[in-house]
Structure 1
Amino acid sequence: MQRRQLGQLEAEVLAALSETPDRALSTAELQARIPGDPAYTTINTVLFRLHDKGLVTRERDGRSFRYRIAVDEARLVAGRMHDHLRYASDSFNVLSQFVKTLSPAEEEALRRILEDG
């Protein structure tokens, strides 16, 4: 099994939560939605850290919690991308490399966004 970086797992948990904004999910429900069969305790640790960062809210459900995303995932990810770009010495080259890795669907979406201005 390949180990993920914690930031990647946090992003996957946030993405799973953003798919159900109208419903809070348990740790077990989130564990089932994350590829690669991460441990229950790992998901629970990530959720506690995300809660401490203010990125998720939680509500008591018996002896455990149910979680809901507390931020706009698109803005959060875009902000992280911008932070990385801001610290690059050659942002043109970074953007060029990024665009080369886009799937055809992502490339088309980027073209539409740029055309709509």
Structure 2
Amino acid sequence: MARRALGQLEAEVLAALAALGGSAGTAELRSRLEGNPAYTTVNTILFRLHEKKLVTRERSGRHYRYRLAVDESELVAGRMRDHLRHASDPGGVLSRFVETLSPDEARKLREILDETRTDE
């Protein structure tokens, strides 16, 4: 069975977990998400992420604490690749993306591209 693309809330929960750098419970993660999602919604998302093996969990009293089981940068890069692969004009998408970068992000992208050219 092919893995579905991550939903927006799933991506936000993964990003919140990555930002914490450790384990967190549902209530703690919920407080870090925009839009004040219901506790049960966040709990359902965490259950789905656990089924997809994107997070691990361990019991802590009556609740679970969750920890990221994958590298966040790999997940985001994979989503970016998927979007580019399905775009009719990947060059246009990249151009628009670059236009939205902050000066620091643009500088970092240039550094990465320069490193890649040097390695060839």
**Same fold by TM-score, threshold 0.5 exceeded?**
yes
Q: Secondary structure at the match of 1:58?
A: strand
Q: Which runs of 4+ in 1 moved over 6 A?
A: none
Aligned to 1:3: none
Q: Secondary structure at the match of 2:67?
A: strand
Q: Secondary structure at the match of 1:34?
A: coil
Taking structure 2 as the reference length, what is the TM-score of the superposition?
A: 0.83
Aligned to 2:66: 67
CA root-mean-square deviation = 1.5
The runs of 5 or more residues in structure 2 that have no matched partner are 1-5
The runs of 5 or more residues in structure 1 that have no matched partner are 1-5
List per-residue Cα deviations over 1:56-82 (Å, max 9, x = no partner): 011111221110000000011101110
Correspondence list, 1:82-97, <5 A: 82-97=81-96
Aligned residues: 111
Aligned to 1:12: 12
Q: Secondary structure at the match of 2:70?
A: coil
Measured in 2, the distance between the counterparts of 1:49 and 1:105 equals 35
Deviation at residue 35 of structure 1 after TM alignment = 2.6
Tell me which moved more, 103-112 or 48-57. Answer: 103-112
List per-residue Cα deviations over 1:4-38 (Å, max 9, x = no partner): xx7221111111111233x3210011111223322
Taking structure 1 as the reference length, what is the TM-score of the superposition?
A: 0.85
Matched AA of 2:114: E
Q: Secondary structure at the match of 2:20?
A: coil
